[in-house]
Structure 1
């Protein structure tokens, strides 16, 4: 067993449920798919819900009553009277108040054991990395394509699972993106596509539709946390509530060959730069942040593989500290955002380095 897995196991075994939690979750703990260990997994989970509206309301309610330990809410809107037909977290006394704070109060009244973190802002390219990096799984309950593409790109860069939901009139869609090297949102809707934005204001919506789809998003999340979803989900499911129809559409991936070419060109560029400096008698320690599978397939000669997930370990920092006395440390990854995250760890310990 790897060091990271041992540390995770030790931390997991230290998780304890209080008597109050046993009383609240007793009926689901007796389910064979959950049990005490499954309930601990739910408690340890950190989930970000993007949007506190029609889809976000039922999703968060079911996550809270299921015992999810941490829920982040990001939204910048205030509650309007027209929201009340579907945004079931709020009532007439909340009109004019900020959604994230009203949602937090309502959820805490349902289950005080759940820690609610509020982000009163709009998710954008400037703040997405910082916010998303603190959570395990991201649930998209938004209603615009621009934000969805930001969620998609950020989750891909940070290796986060993205649970998508969308509604229109009496129809809805649910999909799980970026799961076990599966499909992404961009595989469904290309960024450059000229898609007409259909909102509740233009097409109309009922609470039964958002309630149904939001509940399905919560179900997908719980299945992933409990390990009930085993394989890739390279499909999207569409629901029609009037016709009681369910359609499953497979999505085919076409991006892997292009990525391999990009990686090769990047490696060649880095190698050429390093070769020039070797002539000046410089010594380099190249740290490759990719996972072991990608590293073993192809890597820069004499580079050292330390996956990004291991940068949190004390022994990793101690090892890199020894390297700095030998030569110049270079951090390398095909995803630059991983390099930035690793760089922040090294800066904390005053370890000089460069990002390739």
Structure 2
């Protein structure tokens, strides 16, 4: 947790008073809050689409210690969303360019560069030096490492992920709260999957990274935590930009209910189902029309909350087993949570390779 003793020794310079004058006058921040920000040690794992807006807003807010871990070099294709960089940075290491840009934003910020990938060998030592860990990665293998080490070290884990126009964030391991593995259990075998396969808009990563930075600042300042024990899911191109909350509840023994893996089936099992069944394909119309499993109908996931969709599903479930499918298991799990909340029994068809 945050080191309160060190905070008492923190002093703000005259320049910092000027830089953060508009923040210091806020009731929820003040001088002590600004000192808390300067005293905080935050690790950002991944200096890409999510990591860039996180770094910018933490640095400009006055966070005093930022660690950056990334082994990649900047590519031209990164520039649409990795807003710290420009064409002159291409082929440079991200952590090197990021440090230079952050120092321009906040010269008092101490930057610790980790120019390598997080793994099982180095994770314990690295994470032990920070108060809060921000997940700005794009793969499940690294997230399971973050989850495990944050739990061992009692570190707060701020999760974010983006796919196309959809994003999600959550706070894990906060005050005995839920963990990442409670959302996507290791048994789902997601480690070899990558979350950034289908294209992405820079504004989507910018929005998600900004939300991660907001939650970080709220924790540092001790403000109300609104993302504890649920996953916040949203789509930036919906007309109303509606946000959905998927709660992870505790059972009677005060243990967090994990996802029910018993309802996940594989394609080979479809032929063994003797009763009638219908498959709801959650992908976009274009992907569905190109190729789909037999006995499938197309209901894109963005239409899942519509009352007409629920009435349609309830009608078909009377005479058919309901199976949902998407080419990404994480999206199927989101739809599954929604169906569970409405009391609709169903199966999940594991993504077909």
Same fold (TM over 0.5): yes
Q: What is the aligned counterpart of 2:173 among 173, 178, 181?
A: 178
8 Å contact kept, 1:187–1:253: no
TM-fit CA distance, 1:234: 0.8
TM-fit CA distance, 1:30: 0.6
Match of 1:316 in 2: none
Q: What is the aligned counterpart of 2:249 among 243, 247, 252?
A: 252
Measure the CA separation in 1 of the matches of 2:29 and 2:95: 30
Measure the CA separation in 2 of the matches of 1:251 and 1:230: 15
Please, which runs of 5 or more residues in structure 2 have no aligned partner? 257-353
* TM-aligned CA distance change 1:163 to 1:219, over 3 Å: same
**Runs of 4 or more off by more than 4 Å in structure 1?**
254-259
Q: What is the aligned counterpart of 1:239 among 222, 234, 243?
A: 234
Q: What is the aligned counterpart of 1:189 among 178, 184, 188?
A: 184
Match of 2:219 in 1: 224
Matches within 5 A, 1:1-356: 11-195=6-190, 197-200=193-196, 202-229=197-224, 233-243=228-238, 244-253=241-250
Match of 2:335 in 1: none
8 Å contact kept, 1:161–1:176: yes
* TM-aligned CA distance change 1:198 to 1:129, over 3 Å: closer
Measure the CA separation in 1 of the matches of 2:29 and 2:126: 29
Measure the CA separation in 2 of the matches of 1:83 and 1:249: 31
The total of aligned residue pairs comes to 252
Question: Per the alignment, in what secondary structure is the counterpart of residue 192 of structure 1?
Answer: helix
8 Å contact kept, 1:75–1:120: yes
TM-score after normalising by structure 2: 0.68
8 Å contact kept, 1:180–1:232: no
8 Å contact kept, 2:158–2:171: yes
Measure the CA separation in 1 of the matches of 2:74 and 2:226: 39
TM-fit CA distance, 1:229: 2.5
Q: Once the two structures are superposed, what CA deviation does each residue of 1:223-249 show, in whole Å capped at 9, x if it has no partner?
A: 011010358811110011111110011
TM-fit CA distance, 1:252: 2.2
Measure the CA separation in 2 of the matches of 1:115 and 1:255: 45
8 Å contact kept, 1:180–1:231: no
* TM-aligned CA distance change 1:258 to 1:22, over 3 Å: closer
8 Å contact kept, 1:42–1:225: yes
Measure the CA separation in 1 of the matches of 2:157 and 2:175: 11
* TM-aligned CA distance change 1:111 to 1:75, over 3 Å: same
* TM-aligned CA distance change 1:126 to 1:9, over 3 Å: closer
RMSD: 2.0
Question: Per the alignment, in what secondary structure is the counterpart of residue 246 of structure 2?
Answer: strand
Measure the CA separation in 1 of the matches of 2:170 and 2:42: 17
TM-fit CA distance, 1:173: 0.3
TM-fit CA distance, 1:11: 3.8
* TM-aligned CA distance change 1:11 to 1:208, over 3 Å: closer
Q: Once the two structures are superposed, what CA deviation does each residue of 1:135-167 show, in whole Å capped at 9, x if it has no partner?
A: 000000000000000000000000000000000
* TM-aligned CA distance change 1:35 to 1:257, over 3 Å: closer
Question: Per the alignment, in what secondary structure is the counterpart of residue 164 of structure 1?
Answer: strand
Question: Per the alignment, in what secondary structure is the counterpart of residue 85 of structure 1?
Answer: coil
8 Å contact kept, 2:215–2:225: no
Question: Per the alignment, in what secondary structure is the counterpart of residue 39 of structure 1?
Answer: helix
8 Å contact kept, 1:53–1:141: yes
